[in-house]
């Protein structure tokens, strides 16, 4: 149980962090100093200019990372009537991502599982909107909608899109009014030629590792970031982005807290088992003392046996736990049906994650508890009086 629970908790937390990274924060995020300071307001007036050069540099300097540019924006979506006047409107949060040409972002953000109706954009001028907004604005697939937003220079920007599909994220904040379009369309719409709000970086060879992300950020900032220049580039590790530090620290420690509680409960059970085992051998110890065996030898042999039993038991327990953990890691648990109306942003398939800890955590309750139980039970050996042994044995 301990082994399975540890791998399950590791899996849940790792998946949640990875989902957030892939969707919004990256393992690291590059932006301008001023954008970083105001990032909750999505200040595209502080966007990164000359993004093609910035992307080229990042890919050359850090070839072990995957780099992707994105634009976030807010605005109004306006649907016209037959006369071209406003029929319905909705507030939207938007994201410009690479949708045309390759499937990388669709795969990274697991958008296939979120596509409810229609299809992904296949040509310029197409947009995905959330099903909730789609219904609220009384739209049909193929309808023309106009995005009204602010350009990078602060003036009003208007751009026409055709709705090609609807999305369902299972998160109220996103489902209320999220739209997604190809980043090149968003660049034209918001007058952001060769610019992007942010660049997300992902470790190619591993999931998020806070120390690695912090080291990378500090190395990048040493060469690029200048507090005095608000347009200088700065890199933030995921743990440095709006509240993520708490989630990452929580994920790193919460599993141990939960495991500790579980291990503690299991230890009491196994400790009792050791204690009962020791007491049931009361007669055997008496006989061994009566035939002249030393008390220390009996105590040592009792502990030695408990270590052996603990190791064998833990080995069997860990092996069984690992089988279940592997099944959960490999096949996962598809919760998409259950999560349809959920407000949590979690992957549709929950998986366990077997880590190094998984291999040894089972030994903690397995060995320690039996040994402590045996040690406590064995104390009774020292209280036995040789003179009373035969009397006790007769009884």
Partner 1 sequence: MKTLKISILLLFIMAVGNAQNYPTGKSLLDKVDNNMSAKTRILTAKMEIADLRATRTMISKSYTIGDKKAYTEYLAPAREKGTKMLKLEDRLWIYSPSTDRTIQISGHMMRQSVMGSDMSYEDMMNDKPLLEQYKADVTGEETVDGRKCWVVLLTAIIPDVSYFTQKMWIDQEKFVPLKIEAYAKGGKLLKRTTLTNVQRIQGRWFPMSMVYKDMLKQGEGTKMTIQEVQLDANIPANYFNLGNLK
Q: Give the residue among 192, 249, 240, 233 at the shortest CA–CA distance from 67.
A: 233
* Residues ≥6 apart with Cβ < 8 Å to 377: 274, 275, 276, 277, 278, 279, 302
Nearest-approach distance from CB 222 to partner 1, in angstroms: 25
Return the structure tokens found at 209. Answer: 């590792």
The contact mask relative to partner 1 for 167-196 (x = CB under 8 A, - = no) is ------------------------x-----
Helix (H) or strand (E) run with residue 215 in it: helix 210-224
Does residue 153 belong to the site contacting partner 1 (CB under 8 A)? yes
Does residue 85 belong to the site contacting partner 1 (CB under 8 A)? yes
Does residue 250 belong to the site contacting partner 1 (CB under 8 A)? no
Does residue 159 belong to the site contacting partner 1 (CB under 8 A)? yes
Three-class DSSP labels, 285-318: HHHHHHCCCCHHHHHHHHHHHHHHHHHHHHHHHH
Does residue 230 belong to the site contacting partner 1 (CB under 8 A)? yes
Nearer Cβ to partner 1 (8/35): 35
Percentages helix, strand, coil for the chain, rounded to the nearest 5? 55, 20, 25
Among 82, 140, 155, 341, binds partner 1 (CB under 8 A): 155
* Cα gap 380→260, rounded to integer Å: 29
Nearest-approach distance from CB 134 to partner 1, in angstroms: 20
Nearer Cβ to partner 1 (86/386): 86
For partner 1, how many residues bind (rule: CB under 8 A)?
23
Among 7, 146, 225, 239, binds partner 1 (CB under 8 A): 146
Return the structure tokens found at 155. Answer: 């003036």
Does residue 158 belong to the site contacting partner 1 (CB under 8 A)? yes
* Cα gap 267→291, rounded to integer Å: 34
Find the part of the chain contacting partner 1 (CB under 8 A) among 148-156, 247-255, 329-337, 358-366. 148-156
The contact mask relative to partner 1 for 26-65 (x = CB under 8 A, - = no) is -------------------xx--x----------------
* Cα gap 307→155, rounded to integer Å: 74
Nearest-approach distance from CB 85 to partner 1, in angstroms: 7
* Cα gap 262→142, rounded to integer Å: 54
Find the part of the chain contacting partner 1 (CB under 8 A) among 7-15, 84-92, 259-267, 363-371. 84-92
Nearest-approach distance from CB 251 to partner 1, in angstroms: 37
Does residue 151 belong to the site contacting partner 1 (CB under 8 A)? yes
* Residues ≥6 apart with Cβ < 8 Å to 230: 32, 33, 34, 37, 46
Q: At what angle do helices 282-290 and 369-383 cross, to 10 degrees?
A: 50
Which residues contact partner 1 (rule: CB under 8 A)?
45-46, 49, 76, 78, 80, 84-86, 146, 148, 150-151, 153-156, 158-160, 191, 230-231
């Amino acid at each position: 149980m301990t082994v399975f629970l540890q791998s399950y908790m590791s899996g849940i937390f790792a998946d949640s962090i990875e989902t957030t990274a892939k969707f919004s924060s990256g393992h690291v995020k590059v932006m301008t100093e001023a954008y970083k300071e105001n990032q909750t307001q999505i200040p595209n007036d502080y966007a990164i200019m000359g993004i093609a050069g910035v992307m080229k540099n990042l890919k050359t300097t850090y070839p072990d990372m995957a780099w992707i540019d994105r634009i976030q924006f807010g605005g109004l979506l306006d649907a016209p009537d037959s006369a071209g006047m406003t029929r319905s409107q909705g507030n939207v949060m938007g994201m410009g991502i690479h949708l045309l040409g390759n499937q990388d972002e669709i795969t990274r953000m697991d958008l296939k599982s979120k596509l409810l109706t229609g299809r992904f954009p296949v040509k310029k001028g197409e947009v995905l909107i959330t099903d909730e907004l789609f219904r609220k604005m009384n739209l049909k697939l193929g309808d023309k909608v106009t995005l009204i937003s602010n350009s990078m220079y602060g003036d009003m920007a208007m751009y026409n899109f055709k709705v090609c599909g609807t999305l369902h994220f299972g998160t109220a904040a996103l489902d209320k009014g999220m739209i997604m379009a190809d980043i090149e369309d968003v660049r034209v719409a918001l007058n952001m030629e060769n610019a992007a709000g942010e660049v997300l970086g992902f470790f190619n060879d591993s999931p998020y590792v806070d120390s690695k992300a912090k080291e990378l950020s500090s190395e990048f900032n040493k060469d690029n970031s200048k507090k005095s220049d608000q347009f200088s580039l700065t890199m933030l590790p995921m743990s440095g982005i709006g509240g993520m530090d708490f989630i990452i620290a929580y994920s790193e420690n919460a599993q141990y807290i939960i495991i500790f509680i579980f291990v503690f409960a299991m230890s009491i059970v196994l400790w009792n088992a050791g204690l009962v085992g020791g007491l049931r051998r009361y007669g055997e110890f008496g006989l061994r003392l009566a035939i002249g065996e030393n008390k220390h030898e009996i105590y040592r042999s009792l502990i030695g046996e408990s270590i052996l039993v603990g190791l064998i038991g833990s080995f069997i327990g860990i092996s069984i736990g690992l089988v279940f953990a592997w099944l959960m890691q490999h096949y996962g648990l598809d919760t998409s049906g259950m999560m349809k109306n959920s407000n949590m942003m979690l992957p549709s398939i929950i998986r366990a994650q077997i880590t190094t800890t998984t291999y040894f955590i089972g030994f903690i309750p397995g060995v320690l508890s039996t040994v402590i139980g045996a040690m406590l039970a064995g104390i009774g050996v020292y209280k036995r009086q040789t003179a009373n042994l035969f009397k006790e044995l007769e009884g």
